[in-house]
Amino acid sequence: MTLIPQSILPASIHGRMLLISALATLVALAVAGLAILGVLQGFVTRGLDQRLDAELSLLATAVRPDGAIDKPRLAQVRAALAGEPGWRWRIASPGGVVSSADFPEVEDGPLLPPPPPLVPAADRAPPPPVGGPLEGPRAHAPQPGEGYDADGRRVHMRSVSLPSTAGPVTLTAAAPWAMVQKPVRGALLPLLAILAILGAVLGGAALVQLRLGLRPLRRLRADVAAVRDGRAQTVAEDQPEELRPLATELNALLQDNARTLATARASAANLAHALKTPVAALALELRDDPPRAALIDRLYGTIRHHLARARNAVTERRAAAPLAETIADLLGTVAQLHADRALVFDDTAQANVTVAIERSDLEELLGNLLDNAARHAASRVAIATTAQDGTVRITVSDDGPGIPVADRLRATAPGVRLDERGDGDGFGLAIVRDLAELNGGRLLLDEAPGGGLAATVELPRAGGAS
């Protein structure tokens, strides 16, 4: 069970890790801020307690051993006790209560320990000096308390009980709670600014960490893309410890695919050799029977067609073939085959363009197109190429009769011959179409600018767009 619902999680690992880091940083900063405020408030409160205890020490000097209040002495210390607005004091003795005006009510009264047993006057310690600490057998440790004044404002108190021969005397000093809140609030804005700066630093550190931490994944993705485009055969295994097993498994998978491809190609070649001899022998036997000889020619074309499909069903997608070089070689062969017709071959193929297809498949594909164009051309065959957005367009056009629009789809069906006068077997355009589609492309038939047929093959460019 995840702490964050899957519906709101980002789709990327980078986004998820950044979200978790941001949430953890916010929680950590909030906890740190609250902790710092608590420590600061405790520190200010202790400082206030020390000031109140000093006032209690002054009040203690006005209490006589018999519990009576030394009014002349109290008059001397009152100026110090009333130094700030809102500060109050009280002396509660068995003989009465003396206090500053509007002394607040104690909310839950300070818990004071019971006074110690009375000590004979001869053995009693003298009262503490003015401003001295509350020490000796006469005083207990001051106790905290809370209260509210007549306006409902919170006050903080300190109380102490002094023993006397007449009974315990309770001294209380109080100060407004604003004495604690004011410095805390004053420190709040700088604290928030510091936490904000710390959060920004931690956020920047998280971004840098994610950037560096996920860099091996991006590099591995680039390696896989290079293998797919034919620019590499394996991915680099020099990876961090967590990714090294993945890289190793990917390379093992690539090797298995290569072995499977080699086996398939070998099987196709063996089948081609196995059928070649019987078909050739059968053609010799029926050479004097034109109808049956035509059937043998069609059978040979069918074998070539299906062998091409079987071979390209497991075609090597990482292959790359040079386009201009392949076209130049094929044009030389086709020109020799049709040397008696004095055809003009116009080659404007782009240089330095590679196509994502096996060279043998490219030769068969273009060979069929060029031979088909040469057989139907009146005087000229042109071939042109364009490469854009990762796709290569190869157009072979002629100035022959062309193919009507209504017959263009049927012309790519296996064994269909629209012109019975020639010596073709009707499988050329079908093989071109199949080879193009099996390599991620397509075949388009259109009318050439000067009349005739313009056959265009679209194939993926090796390495993607440039």
Give 188-201 pLDDT, tens digit per residue: 888 889 989 999 99
Q: Where residue 333 sits, what CATH number does that domain have? A: 3.30.565.10
Same domain, 270 and 324: no
Structure confidence at residue 383 as a pLDDT band (50, 70, 90): very high
Cβ neighbors of 442 (< 8 A, separation 6 or more) are 433, 436, 457, 458
How far is the CA of 174 from the CAs of 41, 101, 149, 276, in angstroms? 17, 12, 10, 114
Q: If you average pLDDT over residues 179-186, what whole number do you get? A: 87
In a domain, 375, yes or no: yes
Please count the residues of the chain: 466
**Other Cβ atoms within 10 Å of 34 Cβ, number:** 10
Model pTM?
A: 0.48
Same domain, 164 and 20: yes
Q: What are phi and psi of 216, to 5 degrees?
A: -60, -35
**Other Cβ atoms within 10 Å of 107 Cβ, number:** 13
Q: Does 88 score more than 70 pLDDT?
A: yes
Q: If you average pLDDT over residues 372-390, what whole number do you get? A: 89
Instruction: Give the model confidence (pLDDT) of 200-215 as tens digits.
Output: 999 899 888 888 888 8
Q: Does 46 score more than 80 pLDDT?
A: yes
In a domain, 201, yes or no: no
Same domain, 35 and 152: yes
Most confident of 3-17, 49-63, 280-294: 49-63
Q: Does 126 score more than 60 pLDDT?
A: no
Structure confidence at residue 139 as a pLDDT band (50, 70, 90): low
Confidence (pLDDT) at 421: 45
Same domain, 306 and 322: no
Q: Does 393 score more than 90 pLDDT?
A: yes
Cβ neighbors of 383 (< 8 A, separation 6 or more) are 327, 331, 345, 346, 347, 348, 349, 370, 394, 395, 396, 397
Task: Name the residue range of residue 65's domain.
Answer: 13-112+126-183
Structure confidence at residue 170 as a pLDDT band (50, 70, 90): very high
HSE-CB of 372 using CA atoms within 13 angstroms: 32
Beginning with the edge strand found earlier in the chain, give each strand of the sheet holding 105-106 in spatial order.
96-99, 88-93, 169-176, 154-162, 143-148, 105-106
Structure confidence at residue 107 as a pLDDT band (50, 70, 90): very low
Residue 389 falls in which region: left (phi positive, over 0), alpha (psi -120 to 50) or beta: left
Confidence (pLDDT) at 313: 54
Q: Does 65 score more than 80 pLDDT?
A: yes
Q: If you average pLDDT over residues 130-142, what whole number do you get? A: 53
Most confident of 65-74, 102-111, 267-276, 309-318: 65-74
Q: If you average pLDDT over residues 426-434, what whole number do you get? A: 75
Instruction: Give the model confidence (pLDDT) of 303-325 as tens digits.
Output: 766 666 565 555 555 678 899 99
**What distance in Å separates the CA atoms of residue 416 and residue 43, rounded to the nearest whole number?**
98
Please indicate whether residue 136 or residue 251 has the higher confidence score (pLDDT). 251
Q: Is 218 exposed, middle or buried (0-12, 13-18, 19+ CB in 10 A)?
A: exposed
Residue that finishes a domain, picked among 254, 288, 315: 315
Smallest CA-to-CA distance from 53 within 103, 128, 105 is with 128
Q: Does 67 score more than 90 pLDDT?
A: no
Confidence (pLDDT) at 456: 92
Same domain, 363 and 292: no
In a domain, 178, yes or no: yes
Same domain, 324 and 416: yes
Same domain, 376 and 409: yes
Same domain, 248 and 363: no
DSSP secondary structure, 64-115, as one string: -TTS-B-HHHHHHHHHHHTSSTT-EEEEEETTEEEE-TTPPEESS----PPP
In a domain, 118, yes or no: no
Same domain, 262 and 379: no
Q: Whole-number mean pLDDT of the chain?
A: 79
Lowest mean pLDDT among 43-47, 288-292, 409-413: 409-413
Same domain, 22 and 95: yes
**What distance in Å separates the CA atoms of residue 158 and residue 413, rounded to the nearest whole number?**
105
Q: If you average pLDDT over residues 17-21, what whole number do you get? A: 85
Question: Which amino acid would we find at residue 39?
Answer: V
Confidence (pLDDT) at 370: 92
Confidence (pLDDT) at 458: 93
Residue that finishes a domain, picked among 294, 315, 336: 315
Structure confidence at residue 7 as a pLDDT band (50, 70, 90): low
Confidence (pLDDT) at 141: 82
Confidence (pLDDT) at 427: 61
Q: If you average pLDDT over residues 342-357, what whole number do you get? A: 88
Lowest mean pLDDT among 117-121, 193-197, 336-340: 117-121
Same domain, 147 and 54: yes
Same domain, 298 and 351: no
Q: If you average pLDDT over residues 233-241, what whole number do you get? A: 87
Residue that finishes a domain, picked among 284, 315, 346: 315
**Other Cβ atoms within 10 Å of 400 Cβ, number:** 21
Confidence (pLDDT) at 451: 83
